[in-house]
Structure 1
Amino acid sequence: MTVKPTRLIACLLLVVSFFAAQAHAELPAGYKVVLQTENFPPFNMADNNKNFARDENIQGVSTTIVREMFKRAAIDYTLTLRFPWSRIYDSTLENPNHGLFSTSMSDARKPLFKWVGPIASYDRVMLAAPDSKIGTMRDMAEASRYTIGSYKDSAVSQHLENAGLQPVNALRDPENIAKLLQGRIDLWATSDPVWRHHARQAGVTGLRTVLTFDKSNLYLAFNLDTPDEVITRLQAALEEMKGEGYGTCSKHPELC
């Protein structure tokens, strides 16, 4: 018996739909991801600039992308912004079905979580004060001669420590602006475009990038006990969104 092409296509679509439905039925009823984030503008931030916010009171480029990913993947979640970063990092390590963003995937962190992304990217930079005599540097070896301020437990700080440097870590990254202007540190190791937002908020201009020492992608990181189905669905949603321009300058001009 010869099967007509149209009937064959219809049968294949039914099979695909069946297996897709089966895959989406694998998560238990009432399943919900506990998502946490921090103030890391313009990627994620509280709309009131405070260190605690929930759900709709959290904004930013990454937040917009993450919300859309979960919507397309049909996965329920709660979202909370907390401080400090080390608190939500440890919470995600220790608790099933917890996730956090936006974070970098270093060699040390990679085996500790399940990952979805990248959702964005940023540069790691060293900044000097407007009146500093420090000029453009070629590498980290030159930077090592100076006192460097960074943000406790951040990927930037960990990168410096792994390179053998000893940054003076603040509990909040914006604190480094005052320390830099007061001469308490010579350089501020931070993220671009994150530092630009902090500088605008503080009314500070004239900070200079003297070294770009790395480029990093940003991800969602999930506790290792998170079902693989969650990771698969979210990654598929993200890839679809990238095809529509999410994460680009045209859709998110605050990144550029």
Structure 2
Amino acid sequence: MHAKQPHLPADLTYYTELYPPSNYLENDELKGMSVELIKLIWRELNIPEQPIQIVPWARGYRITKSQKNSVLFTMARAKEREHMFKWVGPIYTARHILLARQDFAPRIRSIEDAYQYPIAAIRNDISEVALIEVGFPKKLIAPLTNLNQSILMLANGRLDLIILSQASIKDIVKANNLSLKDFKIVYQVNEVGNYYAFNKDTPDSTIDLFQQAFEKVEGQRRKLLKKYSLNIESLSVHNF
């Protein structure tokens, strides 16, 4: 039985960033794993398709943390965020890695081996959080606003290492007219579940309804994982 509309806030506002293959623009249309899945959840809940606002990650994070009835996706469920938001998911598991140019010679066997290199991470993104959680000095993190900026700085030799989701590498390299053969994965930092993050004042009853709808579309979610090559078990740590 579908959940009835009156139990759901009528004014939830949805935010996302551009971070393929989870959320991205194609011919000015918002697509991606998380986008398709939230539409299935809305359908399951008899909610009409809602507008999704595309914002820089730091802004979406700030809004969702402070404003009632806000939803941000896709957000990694890091320890430090656990009680700041309420969660529906997991949508998929992301593996965060350090990416270097192909000519980067040093071996990175532990995060300590990377201490001599500034690492670019998206400001307030899970990539920055992941580095801090594994003990990387915050003063050595180069905070940037988007993935395009970080991959271009890496390609141009202005940085030696960046951190990003492994599943995003192909899309971000292609979007910037670069070649995969010019880059390599040098270290895996973590694996973490990605979720729809709701403002912490969202009623538990609303979260429960969204989670139940999420679980009802599990079969379709698995198909989307395959479609977007987000099956973590199929990814080699050393390959794209």
TM-score by length of 1: 0.80
Q: CA deviation at 1:146?
A: 1.6
Identity level (%) = 25
Determine if contact 1:148/1:187 at 8 Å carries over to the other structure: yes
Q: CA deviation at 1:250?
A: 6.7
Q: CA deviation at 1:193?
A: 0.9
Aligned 1:64-213 pairs, distance under 5 A: 64-76=36-48, 78-135=50-107, 137-162=108-133, 163-165=135-137, 166-205=140-179, 206=181, 207-213=183-189
Please identify runs of 4+ aligned residues in structure 1 that moved more than 6 A.
none
Q: CA deviation at 1:47?
A: 2.4
Determine if contact 2:97/2:189 at 8 Å carries over to the other structure: yes
Letter in 2 for 1:67: K
Change (3 A) 1:25 1:68: closer
Aligned counterparts of 1:123 and 1:167: Cα–Cα separation in 2: 19
Change (3 A) 1:180 1:76: same
Aligned counterparts of 1:45 and 1:247: Cα–Cα separation in 2: 20
Aligned counterparts of 2:85 and 2:200: Cα–Cα separation in 1: 5
The one-character-per-residue Cα deviations of 1:161-189 (angstroms, maximum 9, x if unpaired) are 34232211111112112211222111111
Determine if contact 1:128/1:134 at 8 Å carries over to the other structure: no
Aligned counterparts of 2:51 and 2:223: Cα–Cα separation in 1: 24
The one-character-per-residue Cα deviations of 1:203-237 (angstroms, maximum 9, x if unpaired) are 22221001011011110011122222221111111
Change (3 A) 1:61 1:128: same
Aligned counterparts of 2:90 and 2:227: Cα–Cα separation in 1: 15
Determine if contact 1:61/1:247 at 8 Å carries over to the other structure: no
Q: CA deviation at 1:67?
A: 0.8
Q: Identify unmatched segments of 5+ residues in structure 1.
A: 1-19, 50-56
Q: CA deviation at 1:104?
A: 0.6
Identify the structure with bigger relative contact order (alpha carbons < 8 Å, sequence gap 6+).
2
DSSP 3-state at the match of 1:193: helix
- Alignment coverage as a number of residue pairs: 226
Q: From the CA coordinates, give the structure whose radius of gyration is larger.
A: 1
CA RMSD, Structure 1 to Structure 2 (Å): 2.2
TM-score by length of 2: 0.85
Q: CA deviation at 1:39?
A: 0.1
Q: Identify unmatched segments of 5+ residues in structure 2.
A: 232-240
The answer for the alignment partner of 2:235 in structure 1 is none
The one-character-per-residue Cα deviations of 1:74-113 (angstroms, maximum 9, x if unpaired) are 2356332323211111111122111110001111111011
Change (3 A) 1:222 1:77: farther
Q: CA deviation at 1:253?
A: 4.2
Q: CA deviation at 1:37?
A: 0.5
The one-character-per-residue Cα deviations of 1:31-85 (angstroms, maximum 9, x if unpaired) are 2321111101000112246xxxxxxx31101110111012102235633232321
